[in-house]
Structure 1
Amino acid sequence: MDYKQLGRRIRQERLRLNLTQEQLSEYIGISTAYLGQIERGDRNVTLDKLVPIANRLGVTIDYLLTDYINEHADDINLKRLSQLFDGKSEAEKEMAVNMIKMLFSYTDNLKKT
């Protein structure tokens, strides 16, 4: 298992939520130094710590371990989109879908030229 990749993904999600290492480590019940070591891939994270990390970051464990789970890329992307929609209002979800449609329309037009 590539713990460096797992740590990078944890750090990426933490930063996406504008959480400090202190805030996340306090929530999990570990030291900031230990969380830093996890994020750098210097220390292995145990399942009893990975579950609260995933919960606090609002992602699934399989998302954090995406590189280790044998899935099709489309399945992974759909799960990632689903996770982005978690906790959003219907209006926000509709706006996001419309933005994606607009983006695809734009890229389709670029391909035609």
Structure 2
Amino acid sequence: MNYELLGSRLKQERLKMNLTQEKLAEKVEVSHAYIGQIERGERSLTLDTLVRLANCLGVTVDYLLSDALEKNGHYYMDKVTQLMQERSPDEQQLIYEVLDLMFTRLDKMNSKE
């Protein structure tokens, strides 16, 4: 996990809420020095602390972690599936056709190399 990216996301959300490190630390019952270390990616944090931070900032844990987790092939397939599920059957068919066309073009481009 990339703790610097997690810390950056936390800081971004803290600043959106106009909270100081001290005020956020008070709300989640940790020291302000610890918040600073988390934001700089110098310290890891427990799941409990992560959940308390997310709740305090009004965001989800997965939102906070979205940049910090290493993304593999399953991640992107899950994202595509999630996007498709939110669409009507007609929209899903259109998306499939666009993807199919894109892959056909990619295959042609790759075969020329």
Same fold (TM over 0.5): yes
Matches within 5 A, 1:67-106: 67=67, 68=69, 70=75, 71-72=78-79
Query: What SS is found at the alignment partner of 1:72?
Result: helix
Question: For residue 55 of structure 2, what is the aligned residue in structure 1?
Answer: 55
Question: For residue 22 of structure 1, what is the aligned residue in structure 2?
Answer: 22
What letter matches 1:63 in structure 2?
Answer: Y
Query: What SS is found at the alignment partner of 1:44?
Result: coil
Which stretches in structure 1 are left out of the alignment for 5+ residues?
77-113
Structure 2 distance, partners of 1:3, 1:46, is: 12
Which stretches in structure 2 are left out of the alignment for 5+ residues?
84-113
Identical positions, percent: 56
Structure 2 distance, partners of 1:53, 1:36, is: 13
Instruction: Give me the CA root mean square deviation.
Output: 2.1
Q: Say which one has the larger Rg.
A: 2
- 1:8 shift after superposition: 0.2
- 1:31 shift after superposition: 0.5
Q: How many residues were matched structurally?
A: 76
